[in-house]
Structure 1
Amino acid sequence: MVRSLVTGLCLAVFAAVIIGLSNVLGLDLEHVALLGAALGGVLGLVPHRPAWGKVAGFAAGFLLAWLGFALRAAVLPDSSAGRAVAAFVVVALVGVVAAVSGGRLPLWSGLVGAASIVGAYESVYTDAPSQFLSESPAAATTVLLAVGLGYLATNLLAPQSDPAAGPARRRRGPDESEAGSERTTTNLDDLVTGAAQ
């Protein structure tokens, strides 16, 4: 309970800092402050080994979704069908990256990366698809700054617990009966990180 409170307060402070930076530096961060802080918070909070894998997965998903916008601007029609094709390609490629990496780049972090650029840029793209080359870098850098600060708030400032430090789980041998051994459990962290077998 204390960890959630401290983490939430850190994220709240950083969301306010993001908006403050927007005013001081003349950046357009206000519309992505909560989005970036929340997605950066998710990236920082979900345990994954190796830790760099979730950041690399985020970057891969972010880049693939940005390339999805490039595909839409260059060759796909500005219609529901064009958006559907781009969405399919992006999500499929994020899945392929996760699979090829052998789980080192988790699927969830790739999807968070894709969601961050889509959340920050979709409405701007819809208003002016022909301005992709001039508008998308600004949207990308602003949301990346917000995500980075959200990640910093949860990963560095909030108290962290080591998921590997949990209670040891004992596996049954082939000759042990279920009744005579301690039953193993699988928690959500194990499922997300791939530690459950």
Structure 2
Amino acid sequence: MVRSLVTGLCLAVFAAVIIGLSSVLGLDLEHVALLGAALGGVLGLVPHASTWGKVAGFLAGFLLAWLGFGLRAAELPDSSAGRAVAAFVVVALIAVVTAASRGRLPLWSGLVGAASIVGAYESVYTNAPSQFLSESPAAATTVLLAVGLGYLSTNLLAPQANPSHSPPRHRSSAERVEESSPDSDTATDLDGLMTGATR
């Protein structure tokens, strides 16, 4: 409970810092401060075998969703059908990248990456689709800065709260047999899905 409180307070401070940086540096960060800090916190808190793997998965999802906006601007109609096609392509490509990496880039981190650019840029894109080339880089860099600060707060300022920093616990053969049994708890399956572990 104390660890969760420390981590939450670190994220709260960084969300406020992001907004403060916005006014000092003249950046447009206010509308992505909470989004970026929260998603960066998720990226930092969810355990995965490789820290670089989840960061790379995030960046892959981010880039694919950004390219999805480019596809919408260049080729697809600005309609529900066009948005549906773009969403399908982006999520399918994230799944392909995850499969090609053999789980080293977890699916969840790719989806978090896609959500970050969509949350930061969708409303701007909807107002001016033709301005994709000029406006999307600003949205991408601002939300990446916010996510980076949120990630930093959970990994550097509060490393004790991050399960990925704890030493691995070796399981006994009885635990491994229990996990592989068909009667194993559903929570174990959910944990494996979240951490990217394969059974």
| Same topology, TM > 0.5 | yes
Partner of 2:100: 100
Q: CA deviation at 1:193?
A: 2.1
For residue 132 of structure 1, give the secondary structure of its aligned residue in structure 2: helix
**Cα separation, 1, equivalents of 2:174 and 2:21:** 55
Q: CA deviation at 1:49?
A: 1.2
Asked if 1:146 corresponds to 2:165, the answer is: no
**Cα separation, 2, equivalents of 1:123 and 1:162:** 35
The CA deviation string for residues 15-40 of structure 1, in whole angstroms up to 9 with x for no partner, is 00000000000000000000000000
Q: CA deviation at 1:188?
A: 4.5
**Cα separation, 1, equivalents of 2:16 and 2:44:** 18
Which stretch of the first structure deviates more once superposed, 72-81 or 160-169? 160-169
Q: Give the alignment partner of residue 171 of structure 1, picking from 165, 170, 173.
A: 173
The CA deviation string for residues 140-171 of structure 1, in whole angstroms up to 9 with x for no partner, is 00000000000000111112344763653223
How many aligned residue pairs are there?
190
Give % identity: 81
**Cα separation, 1, equivalents of 2:5 and 2:174:** 38
Q: CA deviation at 1:64?
A: 0.2
**Cα separation, 2, equivalents of 1:8 and 1:171:** 36
Larger helix share, 1 or 2: 2
**Cα separation, 2, equivalents of 1:51 and 1:119:** 24
Partner of 2:70: 70
Partner of 1:26: 26
| TM-score in terms of structure 1 length | 0.90
Unaligned ranges ≥5, structure 1: none
Partner of 1:195: 197
**Cα separation, 1, equivalents of 2:192 and 2:132:** 40
Unaligned ranges ≥5, structure 2: none
Residue pair 2:46, 2:163 contacting (<8 A) in 1 also: no
**Cα separation, 2, equivalents of 1:107 and 1:162:** 17
**Cα separation, 2, equivalents of 1:164 and 1:22:** 34
Which stretch of the first structure deviates more once superposed, 91-100 or 163-172? 163-172
In 2 relative to 1, CA 76–64 (structure 1 residues): closer, same or farther, beyond 3 Å?
same
